[in-house]
Chains A and B, each alone.
Chain A
Amino acid sequence: MSTFVDRYPDEARVVRATLVVSFAALGIGAFFGLIQALHRTGYLRIIDSTDYYTVLTGHGVLLALVFTIFFLLGLFTWAVTRSLERPMPNIRLTWAWFGLSTTGAVFAAVAIVAGLFPSLDMSADVLYTFYAPLQAHPLFYIGLAMFIVGTWIAGADWFLAYRSWRSDNPDERIPLQTFMVLTTMLMWYLSTIGVAVSVVVFLIPWSFGLIETVNPLLTRTLFWYFGHPVVYFWLMPAYLMWYTILPKLAGGRLFSDPLARVVFVLFLLLSTPVGIHHQYLDPGIAEGFKFIAMTNTMFLLLPSLLTAFTVVASMEHGARQRGGEGYLSWLGSLPWRDPAFTGMALAGLMFAAGGFSGMINAGMNINYLVHNTLWVPGHFHLTVGTAVALTMMAGSYWLVPQLTGRRLYSRPIALFQVVLWFIGMVFMSNGMHRAGLLGIPRRTAEPQYQSFDFSATIGSVTELRIQMAIGGTLLFVSVVLFLFNVLLSAIEDPIEMPVDDSLPAPLSGADGSPVVLDNLRLWTAIAIVLVILAYSLPLASIVSDGGLFGESGTFPVFIEAVYWIVGVVV
């Protein structure tokens, strides 16, 4: 018997390297998260409030972009290699994208952290959304661009691997994991065009002073064109693990391979034409476009519900294989002592809760109530912060042994760690959601204004602050335990078979499903059409209103009045 590292030592090395970058970002980002949680609740203030944006930018960029995406890069390389059963076509290319994206991430991180040192003339306090009018040092945008190009090359690497597999296997169905990787990357190519145009054409020249102004609404819209699909770029690696690894850990097999393919195709089609749902409160976009974005968003419920069904059905199948019985008592037969299983299952559970608050965000009118309040971080700490992050950590307990040939240092600590994350997040996200309903804003160091108090009809704001502070602290402890456990696992002695790394075939295989599902060209073409339909009119009207570079003269009326007064006085 052999494991991944024995079969593909070169690939295992790259995957390990991506995980090292990913986990380093997780550690630093979580520390920033703790600082924020304690600072804005007022319990411990080790930074100056003026540095809050720097820390918040570091937190958002390092966790939401670097930790998640580097994990994805590693996971997808693993998935393509093992499901195609062949090494990467050109390992130099693989190292090249790793080097490029790592350099880019380091550039961006340096530009952000430099903001904490006043003596350095560099900062990037632009938050992870980095759109105008906030401006960062050019190094930040350049790093970002390199990072994105790195992911593009990684995608090309996987497509090349697929192509060489295809020439040897002309009539076979695409292996499921590779299918998931390819559809995700097609979505990524389509959606990163927006952010690439924004960064390369507008933000980089602007930060160098080559152009005076940018059209803020245009860069925002280009950002959100990418900003919604990026959430699926976080989520798809988690889905890949829920569909292909979780059923195995539960003791069974995936319920339906064709259904999994349908879900990934739906995400390719539906993720991009919805970004305007982040701009319900942006002036300058007509209500009608916002309404269309809302309807499109509601369609995205479908693949999510299909996933809930398939994954739970697979878990139930696993439990029944292990002797589980009854309507609900089969739940007791699941392997709850296995940290990889328990972590993923708890992550899935919290994702359901996050789905509910997500539906509220998506509703155009209710969104006005929670927009830019702490409700929003409450929501996405359940989705990306738990469904994705916890699945990645839990999955690591199963993946890392395959990549190192060493056993996990401690299963009990791992189990405790995933449960601690769950509990910490129950507290923090509950506090955040409720605080948001009271109107407490997000993204501020000082939510307590002078002579103004937020008040809760029941309970008190203090209770919510306590929940957030306790939750944030537990989460940080959980990350420390995770890193500690993985680090110690990496220096264990190598053993023969550190983990059972086989993946059983699905109950209902790909053979019975329509061949058209594997027609990636067709799905890409439809996805492009949908994007054109959703975005061409709004973009055209934004550009015609505000100018490509924002230099058209339509100021809000009051600014003209100010000019007039200044003119009269001077």
Chain B
Amino acid sequence: MQNSFIRMFLNNRVAWIYLLAGGFVLGTILLALFWSSVTVPIPHIIHIIIEHTTGHVWLADVPANEGPIIWNIRLPRVILAFCVGASLALAGAAFQGLLRNPLADPYTIGVSSGAALGAVIVIFFQLSIPLLGSFTQPIIAIIFGFLTLMLVFGLVKMTSRSMAIETIILAGIIISSFMGAIVSLIIALGDQNEMTQIIYWLYGSVSLRGWSHVQLILPFMIVGSLILLYHYRELNALALGEEAAEHIGVDVRRGKIFLLIGASLLTGSAVAVSGTIGFVGLVIPHLVRLVTGPNHRHVLPLSLLVGGGFLILTDLVSRTIIAPKEMPIGVITALVGAPVFSLLLIRNRLGRRKTA
């Protein structure tokens, strides 16, 4: 009896957390839609969205220029911010569980740098693949993210048979530095125009992207998220150590590969549409774990929600704080992320001392 009571209580607690996270996402979406440098009355905003989604018109006096402001500029931006934040945080949670290292995030494993290199190459050589058109950059970025992953795997395979965690991190860092060096080289070779473009891009931003980028990231985000959410058991098993995981009958090797592919999909597409935005993948999963505990069944979906909401919020700050100028979103995530992460580390240490 006692036991089931506790279980019910726990379930309730988890339900509350999900409800809160969902509320957070909804709240940030509404806030970001209603509040910006240009004031559009809330009824107008609601009208515009209803008109575009259902075709139903109920307010006749909405100024013509408010339609594109809300529907083509602000809404896709909010959605894109959610997708990027969700993808990065979910990928970060997976990498941290996978590598059992609190410092792991999409950057550690080299996927972000690879994707960044791909995107920078497109800018530098002004590439435009006929059928892809303006999608050349994101798609090349995803491909480069994958190639980097393969390169990391190749390096790991050549150095150890067991795909050891330390080797993966080490290889990730090495490849990442190498990719970064090529990016620096390209910047040094480029003329001023390209330099400006590349640097603006590297700062990271979800501004001025529109629906086309939302359409681009969505399929990758959905597939990547499903892969990761499906394989949460492997992550939980890995927490026990690889040998123990094998003992309880989890195919760790296969799971790892799926998890890495899923996380790379998420990272590659996020970097491709938004540039390099750091700290989301690092901090959000830690925050989530603080509340839910280590079970990846909850850490993964909650990281997705909280990460998405968080990036909507940071983007809102980035476009309003010094409007009409924009603060690079990567600057804000780092300004918020670094202190939070430090606090988490200190807290962690103090907590450990208490229990010891």
Binding between chains A and B? no
